[in-house]
């Protein structure tokens, strides 16, 4: 870029390269999955047009946009030196491919893309401290210590935290009482069954005793009747004898 005083001095490693934000027409030398390499006339060094810089819309493969040997308009959006290597970055979406007109004259999109690439490379935007994670509250389950996307609670399922040792101890007598309660119920049932059996036995014994008493009474009555009948017979016999003596 140029300041009001004049063009800024370029490092020695960038001599003989196209200036920043310049527009030129070049030839596609190779096509890769991540982008296409373009060579500008008058320059030996090739530049990379990343798939994200080929179109304003999402591009899955570079082969969908360009082919080898095709002439395309590019804009220089990056020049870097890493040791002895020089890296050139071009953009196709910043230039009208039909007329070659600059679609980003103020270089706003180019600066935003460069800032985004720098953050991604340095991982400064992805730094999250442990305190930040612990203090976050999940909007899904309401618990702290994890993000909503990492929440383990699914709809229809609920998970409870394991109780601590102090909480488990007072719960033991409750479990014992719960186990004792069914035992008491079974004991009560057994007692009831025994009582019913005893009542049946008593009824049977009463019936048997009643039948025995009735039979004894009947026998006594019969014996009394026999005795009375015998007495009457004796009386009759005596009376007959007395009459026979009188007649004689």
pTM of the model: 0.43
List, for residues 136-184, the tens digit of each pLDDT value: 788 777 777 777 777 766 555 555 667 676 655 555 555 544 555 666 7
Residues 119-140 have a mean pLDDT of 61
Which residue do the tokens 């953009």 mark?
A: 91
Looking only at the bridges linking them, the beta strands covering 85-91 and 35-39 are unpaired
pLDDT at 48 over 80: yes
CA 204 to each of CA 197, 208, 212, 216: distance values in angstroms, whole numbers, following the listed order: 11, 6, 12, 18
**Beta bridge partners of residue 24, listed in sequence order:** 74
**H/E element, 46:** strand 46-50
**What homologous superfamily is domain 22-117 in, according to CATH?**
Nucleic acid-binding proteins (2.40.50.140)
% of the chain beyond a pLDDT of 70: 65
Q: How confident is the model at residue 27 (pLDDT cuts 50, 70, 90)?
A: very high
Residue 165: predicted pLDDT: 66
Residue 3: predicted pLDDT: 39
Residue 2: predicted pLDDT: 37
% of the chain beyond a pLDDT of 90: 24
List, for residues 4-21, the tens digit of each pLDDT value: 344 444 444 566 788 889
Residue 248: predicted pLDDT: 53
Residue 93 and residue 54 in contact, taking contact as beta carbons nearer than 8 Å: yes
List, for residues 198-222, the tens digit of each pLDDT value: 888 888 888 777 666 666 676 677 7
What average pLDDT is seen over the chain? 76
Q: Which residue has the higher pLDDT, 116 or 103?
A: 103
Residue 160 and residue 152 in contact, taking contact as beta carbons nearer than 8 Å: no
Residue 159: predicted pLDDT: 59
Residue 182: predicted pLDDT: 65
Residue 6: predicted pLDDT: 42
Q: Which of 166, 77, 62, 86 is nearest to 117 (CA)?
A: 77
């Amino acid at each position: 870029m140029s300041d009001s005083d004049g063009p800024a001095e370029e490092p020695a490693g960038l001599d003989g390269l196209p200036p920043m934000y310049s527009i030129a027409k070049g030839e596609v030398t190779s096509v890769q999955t991540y982008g296409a390499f373009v060579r500008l006339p008058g320059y030996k060094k090739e530049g990379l047009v990343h798939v994200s810089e080929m179109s304003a819309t999402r591009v899955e493969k570079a082969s969908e946009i360009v082919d080898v040997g095709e002439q395309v308009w590019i804009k220089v959006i990056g020049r870097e030196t890493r040791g002895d290597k020089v890296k050139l970055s071009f953009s196709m979406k910043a230039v009208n491919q039909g007329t070659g007109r600059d679609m980003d004259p103020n270089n706003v999109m180019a600066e935003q893309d460069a800032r985004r690439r720098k953050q991604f490379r340095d991982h400064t935007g992805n730094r999250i401290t442990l305190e930040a994670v612990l203090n976050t509250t999940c909007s899904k389950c309401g618990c702290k210590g994890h993000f909503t996307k990492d929440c383990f609670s699914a709809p229809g399922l609920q998970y409870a935290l394991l109780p601590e040792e102090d909480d488990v101890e007072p719960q033991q007598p409750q479990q014992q009482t719960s186990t004792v309660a069914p035992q008491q119920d079974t004991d009560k049932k057994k007692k009831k069954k025994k009582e019913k059996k005893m009542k049946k036995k008593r009824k049977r014994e009463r019936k048997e005793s009643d039948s025995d008493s009735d039979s004894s009474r009947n026998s006594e009555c019969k014996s009394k009747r026999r005795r009375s009948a015998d007495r009457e017979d004796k009386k009759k016999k005596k009376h007959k004898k007395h009459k026979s003596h009188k007649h004689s």
